Amino acid sequence: MSVSRTALVILAAGQGTRMKSDLPKVLHKVAGAPLLHHAMLSGASLDPERSVIVAGHGAEAVQDAALELDPDAITVVQADRLGTGHAADQAREALADFDGNVIVLYGDTPFIRTETLDAMVAAREKNAVVVLGFEPEDPARYGRLVMKGEMLERIVEYKDATDEERAIGFCNSGVICADSKLLFDLISEIGNDNASGEYYLTDIVDRARARALAVTAVTCAEEETMGVNSRVDLARAEAAYQARRRTEALVDGVAMQAPETVFLSFDTVIGRDAEIEPNVVFGPGVTVETGARIRAFSHLEGCHVSRGAIVGPYARLRPGAELAEDTHIGNFVEIKNAQIAEGAKVNHLTYIGDASIGAATNIGAGTITCNYDGVFKHRTEIGAKAFIGSNTMLVAPVKIGDEAMTATGAVVTKDVPDGALAVARAKQDNKPGFAIRFMERLRALKLKATEE
């Protein structure tokens, strides 16, 4: 078998009018990642030597997004949207010296599986051009694949199709694989004499057949080719993607009582025997280790939860939250950019931001790290085995030593040495009988007012 070199071309210049959005279509997100990233990740499984992203509508934002995921991606701009053939042609220069297979993916059809792309590359050995087809429940307005035995004769767009052709159930997903030199030769021959006045990439099939080259179609499941053209489609794509990821997590040994209520990101990593209770939302960048427990209604993003940790119910972990083993983060607690060392507990109604908390330290209910002065953020450093009394305000920058304590209700503005107790609140003064006398006076005043 020949070693096949691969280049990827992703068409992402379209506006996506039906999204009714200022955001370019391919930047709308599924599971926390733009559609463009899903397409790039799908193609990345082929280990392409080059990836060319064709941007157009909102080009700058699309190019930035492409480079954010893959700094080596080559971005080109299609200034006028003259059709998919014209879009693919924009990659000609970037691939001029490339010798190998080109896979063209559509940015709005981003969920093609690795196995499917592999099957296309394999079929390329015996065919000059390979197209990915599928048999949708409702063929609607997809391009139709006109087959003759194993041979794909041409692709006809719905708008240009006869009634007989519209009756064909085998449709074009948009993914095409061809040898680089041949692809651009065939594209040169495409015209725009059709119902849309566009240069259709799909016309390369007809052109290849005119040269008596072999062209075939590989089939995949409909859900892989799910195109996103409207927000209805986007929601449907999200649901399908979530269903797939949840099943993968269960298969990998993650415990979920109500997986249909758990929302995962494209990059969520959860270890086996971790338990995810109902209604948990994972934003991007979360790793949960084996045996950790994320309790109901918690929201996590950009954080790491180690083995044996318990989070929630109703906890919020924001970017930079690092939870060591056996930590406890309880209800209505928010942690941001903070390292919580082994066995530390932050159990109730607390905000910990820009901080570090030492091992086995206990943070009392209602504690706040006052990290923001309106302009700058400041750090709070708390040692090991410390005890922070309920309702302590830690006015950062401030350091609390190992085995130190703060009194309940303290407003701590100065560092607390190891082993010391910080009391920073007004002294209590009891006035005997005052409450009774005070209430009697108020009631008397009220009586007088109603008599007048």
* Secondary structure in 3-state letters for 373-391: CCCCECCEEECCCCEECCC
Contact between 56 and ligand UD1 per CB under 6 A: yes
Question: Which entry of ligand UD1, Mg ion, none binds 82, CB below 5 to 8 A by partner kind?
Answer: ligand UD1
Question: Which entry of Mg ion, ligand UD1, none binds 201, CB below 5 to 8 A by partner kind?
Answer: ligand UD1
Interatomic CA distance for residues 354 and 334, integer angstroms: 11
Q: Which is nearer to ligand UD1, 176 or 365 (CB)?
A: 176
Q: Which is nearer to Mg ion, 40 or 280 (CB)?
A: 40
Q: Which is nearer to ligand UD1, 75 or 173 (CB)?
A: 173
Q: Which amino acid is at 107?
A: G
| CB of residue 201 to Mg ion, shortest distance in Å | 12
Q: Kindly identify the residues of this chain, within the stretch 215-254, that bind Mg ion according to CB under 5 A.
A: 227
Interatomic CA distance for residues 294 and 313, integer angstroms: 7
Strands 328-340 and 310-311: parallel
Count each helix (H run) and each strand (E run) in the chain, helices first. Answer: 9, 33
Question: Which entry of ligand UD1, Mg ion, none binds 81, CB below 5 to 8 A by partner kind?
Answer: ligand UD1
Residue nearest to ligand UD1 (CB): 143
Interatomic CA distance for residues 198 and 191, integer angstroms: 8
Interatomic CA distance for residues 392 and 370, integer angstroms: 10
Contact between 6 and ligand UD1 per CB under 6 A: no
Contact between 11 and ligand UD1 per CB under 6 A: yes
If phi > 0 it is left, if psi is from -120 to 50 it is alpha, else beta; for residue 29 that is beta
Catalytic, out of 28, 38, 299, 348: 348
Q: Which is nearer to ligand UD1, 81 or 379 (CB)?
A: 81
Question: Which entry of Mg ion, ligand UD1, none binds 90, CB below 5 to 8 A by partner kind?
Answer: none
Binding flags for Mg ion, 30-69, as an x/- string (CB under 5 A): ----------------------------------------
Q: What is the DSSP letter of 142?
A: P
| CB of residue 82 to ligand UD1, shortest distance in Å | 5
Other CB atoms within 10 Å distance of the CB of residue 47: 9
Interatomic CA distance for residues 282 and 302, integer angstroms: 9
Q: Which is nearer to ligand UD1, 160 or 403 (CB)?
A: 160
Instruction: Identify any residues that bridge with 255 across adjacent strands, giving them in sequence order.
Output: 275
Cα dihedral 135, 136, 139, 143, rounded to 10, equals -60
Contact between 206 and ligand UD1 per CB under 6 A: no
Question: Which entry of ligand UD1, Mg ion, none binds 84, CB below 5 to 8 A by partner kind?
Answer: ligand UD1
CB 31 within 8 A of CB 242: yes
CB 120 within 8 A of CB 76: no
Interatomic CA distance for residues 50 and 179, integer angstroms: 14
Of 103-111, 289-297, 398-406, 428-436: span binding ligand UD1 (CB under 6 A):
103-111
Contact between 106 and ligand UD1 per CB under 6 A: yes
| CB of residue 237 to Mg ion, shortest distance in Å | 13
Q: Which amino acid is at 309?
A: A
Q: Which amino acid is at 74?
A: I
| Residue 304 designated active-site | no
| CB of residue 8 to Mg ion, shortest distance in Å | 18
Here the tokens at position 145 are 């694949």
Q: Which is nearer to ligand UD1, 90 or 391 (CB)?
A: 90
Q: What is the DSSP letter of 426?
A: P
Q: What angle do CA 164, 169, 172 make, to 5 degrees?
A: 105
Q: Kindly identify the residues of this chain, within the stretch 78-97, that bind ligand UD1 according to CB under 6 A.
A: 78, 81-84, 86-87
Strands 144-148 and 151-156: antiparallel
Q: Which is nearer to ligand UD1, 189 or 273 (CB)?
A: 189
Instruction: Identify any residues that bridge with 11 across adjacent strands, giving them in sequence order.
Output: 54, 106
Q: Kindly identify the residues of this chain, within the stretch 146-205, that bind ligand UD1 according to CB under 6 A.
A: 155, 157, 171-174, 200-202
Contact between 143 and ligand UD1 per CB under 6 A: yes
Here the tokens at position 410 are 């303290």
Q: Which is nearer to ligand UD1, 76 or 254 (CB)?
A: 76
Using CB under 6 A, pick the residue from 8, 12, 234, 249 that binds ligand UD1: 12
Q: Give the binding site for Mg ion (CB under 5 A).
A: 227
Question: Which residues bind to ligand UD1, rule: CB under 6 A?
Answer: 11-14, 54, 56, 78, 81-84, 86-87, 106-109, 142-143, 155, 157, 171-174, 200-202, 227
Positions annotated as catalytic residues are 348
